[in-house]
Amino acid sequence: MKDIKEYLSSYVDALRPIIYINHFDFNYTDKIIEDISENITIIEYNNSLGKVDFKTKAPQIEMTSLEEFLKENRENGFDNNTFIILKDIHNELDNPKVLSILKRISEDNLYREDYYCTIFIVSSILKVPRELENYITILDAPLPIDKEIKNIMINFIKELDINVSKDVINELSVSFKGLNKFQIEQILNLAYQNSGTIEMQDKDLILKEKEQLVKKSSMLEIINFKEGIDDIGGLETLKNWLERKAKIFKNLGKAKESGVDVPKGIMIVGMPGCGKSLTAKVTSSLFNVPLVRLDVGRLLGKYVGESEENMRKALDLAEAISPCVLWIDEIEKAFAGIGSGVSEVTTRLFGLLLTWLQEKENTVFVVATANDISNLPPEFLRKGRFDEIFFTDLPNVNERTDIIKIHLKKRNKFNRDIDIYKLAKETDGYNGADLEYIIKDTIEEAFINNKDTITTDDLLATIKETKSISQTLKTKIENIRKTVEEMDIKKATNKN
Ligand code: ATP
C-alpha cells in the first residue's frame, strides 16, 4: 500500500493543481510536503499570520488578505517550481475573488508549459467549492495499522525509558486502532502523566478519550441512558437473540479463536413506540459498550463531497471508538426513495453505508431502526448487511401485562390489588409508549388529588380517555403491517 507521501508525490507529478490535505496536525503535513519538495520554492500563507516563512514560521511582511497574497505570488510559478501552501483558509473559499484566482493558477498549471505551481490547502475542515471541484484532489491521511501503532508505542516507551510488558503493548495497540498518530501520542502522554508508566488499566483511559472524540465531533452523538434488559416488556425472541450475541460480543477474542463470526448488527422495523429505541439502548447495556447515534441528516453539507466525507468520518469515528453499538435511527427517513429521483448525494451516502455494512470486519455492532421500510431500497435488507431483521409489532396481551408491570414498578406504584391482566385486556391496539403515558398520567392525577396509591379503576378511567396509536395512526399502522407481512420479517415476539 502507498503511504501518504507517495500519494502526495504522485499527485504533484500528475500536475494536480490543488491538493487538499484534510488534516489537523500541521507539523506532520509540513514534514511530508518538505520531504517531496526538492528544488521547489515553498511559499506559505497562514490564515492568522498571513505570509510566513515555511521553515521558521516567521511572518514575512505585513498581514495581507489571501486574495492579495495570491495575486502577488502567482507569478512565482513562471520562474521557479513552486508550492503554495494555504493553511486554515477554508473560510475564504466562499470568496469569489479568491476562487477566481485559485482557478487561474490551476489552469496555468495545467495548460501552460512554462508554469509550474501546485497549491496545497491544509485544513482539518473540508470545504470543496463547486467552482474548484475539477481542480481539487483530496488527500486524507490513512490511519496507522497494527504494526505502526505498535511502533508509535515502542518509540514513546523508548524515549521515556520506561518498562512496559509486551502483553500491555499488544492489548493497548488493539484499543488504539482507529486513532491517528497524534491522538495516540496524546493519550500515551496522559497515561504516563497519570501513573508514570503505561499499563493495562490505561485501556479505560483510551475508551474515555475515544468518547471525548465523539463529543468533540458533530458526526456522532454519545447516548447516555439507564435502561437494561429488564426494562423491555415482551419482545422475547429479540431479547433472546441479543443475549446470545452479547455472549459473543463480550468475549470477542475467544469467539474469534473458536471460529465464531463477529456479530454485525440488526435492523428493527416496527410500529411507533414499540421499543425500537429502547432495544438500541439495551443492546449497548447488554454488550457493555458505548452507544453512539448516527444522524444521517446531520452529515449533509453544502460543499461538493462534504456529505460523503462526513459519512466516511462518522464511520471511521465509530470504528475508532469500537467496540461500540452504532445506532442509525429512522433510517427510512434518510434513505427512502433511493433509485426514484432523490438527490445524488443521498444515493452516494447510501452506497457508502451499504458497502461499509457489507465489508465491515470490525467490532461496531449496528442497530438500524425504522417504522416503514416500504420505500427503502431492497438491497439494504439483503442478506449480509445485517445478521437479522426483526419486526416489533404492537404488544399482545401478555406483552402488555409485562409492560404495564415494568412501568408501575419503575414509579413504585406496583401493588397486588391492581388487576394488571384486566388492564392489558382493555388496551388492545395500544403501544408501549401509550401504556407508559397512561400510567404516568394516572399517577399525576392521583398526586394532584392527594392520593398515595392508584387503583385499577383509576387506570381504566385514563385508558378510556386515551386514544391508542391504532386509532390515531390507523393507516400508517396498516401500511407497516402490510409491508412487513409481504417481506416475511421475523417477529420480535414469540407469543401471540
Ligand atoms: P418510534 O418509532 O416512535 O421512534 P420506538 O419504537 O423507538 O418509537 P421507544 O422510544 O423505544 O419506541 O419507546 C417509547 C417509550 O415507550 C419507551 O421509552 C418505553 O418507556 C415505552 N416502551 C415502548 N415499548 C416498550 C416495551 N416493549 N417495554 C417497555 N416499555 C416500552
Q: Is the dihedral of CA 288, 289, 293, 294 positive or negative?
A: negative
435 lines ligand 1 (CB under 6 A): no
Percent of the chain as helix, strand, coil, to the nearest 5: 50, 15, 35
Q: Which residues are registered as beta bridge partners of 266?
A: 367, 388
Closest ligand 1 atom to 268 CA: 6
For every residue of 151-174, which 3-state class applies, written as one string?
HHHHHHHHHHCCCCCHHHHHHHHH
Averaged over 227-233, what is the pLDDT? 93
Q: Which residues are registered as beta bridge partners of 43?
A: 84
Q: Is the dihedral of CA 371, 375, 378, 384 positive or negative?
A: negative
Residue with the nearest Cα to atom 16 of ligand 1? 433
Model pLDDT for residues 285-304, shown as the tens digit of each residue: 998 888 999 988 888 777 77
Q: Where are the domains of the chain?
A: 2-139, 146-213, 222-392, 397-465
232 lines ligand 1 (CB under 6 A): yes
Terminal CA-to-CA distance of the chain, rounded, Å?
55
| Domains 2-139 and 222-392 in one fold | yes
Q: Among all chains, which residue has been given the C-alpha cell 471508538? A: 321
pLDDT band at residue 326 under the 50/70/90 scheme: very high
Closest ligand 1 atom to 234 CA: 27
How far apart CA 138 and CA 305 sit, in angstroms, is 10
371 lines ligand 1 (CB under 6 A): yes
Does the domain made of 2-139 have the CATH classification 3.40.50.300?
yes
pLDDT band at residue 337 under the 50/70/90 scheme: low
**Residue 59 DSSP one-character state:** B
Model pLDDT for residues 184-217, shown as the tens digit of each residue: 888 899 999 999 999 988 887 787 777 777 776 7
The answer to whether 131 touches 94, Cβ cutoff 8 Å, is no
Chain CA centroid to CA 59, Å: 39
Averaged over 341-347, what is the pLDDT? 75
Out of 3.40.605.10, 3.40.190.10, 3.80.30.20, 1.10.8.60, the CATH code matching 397-465 is: 1.10.8.60
Look at residue 253 and tell me whether its pLDDT is greater than 80.
Answer: no
322 lines ligand 1 (CB under 6 A): no
pLDDT band at residue 340 under the 50/70/90 scheme: low
Task: Using only the alpha carbons of the chain, give its radius of gyration.
Answer: 29
234 lines ligand 1 (CB under 6 A): yes
Ligand 1 center from residue 271 Cα (angstroms): 10
Residue with the nearest Cα to atom 22 of ligand 1? 432
How far apart CA 278 and CA 149 sit, in angstroms, is 37
Ligand 1 binding pocket mutation candidate from 230, 232, 274, 401 (most atoms within 8 A of CB): 274
How far apart CA 12 and CA 471 sit, in angstroms, is 65
Look at residue 104 and tell me whether its pLDDT is greater than 70.
Answer: yes
Does the domain made of 222-392 have the CATH classification 3.40.50.300?
yes
Q: According to the model, what pLDDT value does residue 242 have?
A: 96
Q: According to the model, what pLDDT value does residue 1 have?
A: 42
pLDDT band at residue 2 under the 50/70/90 scheme: low
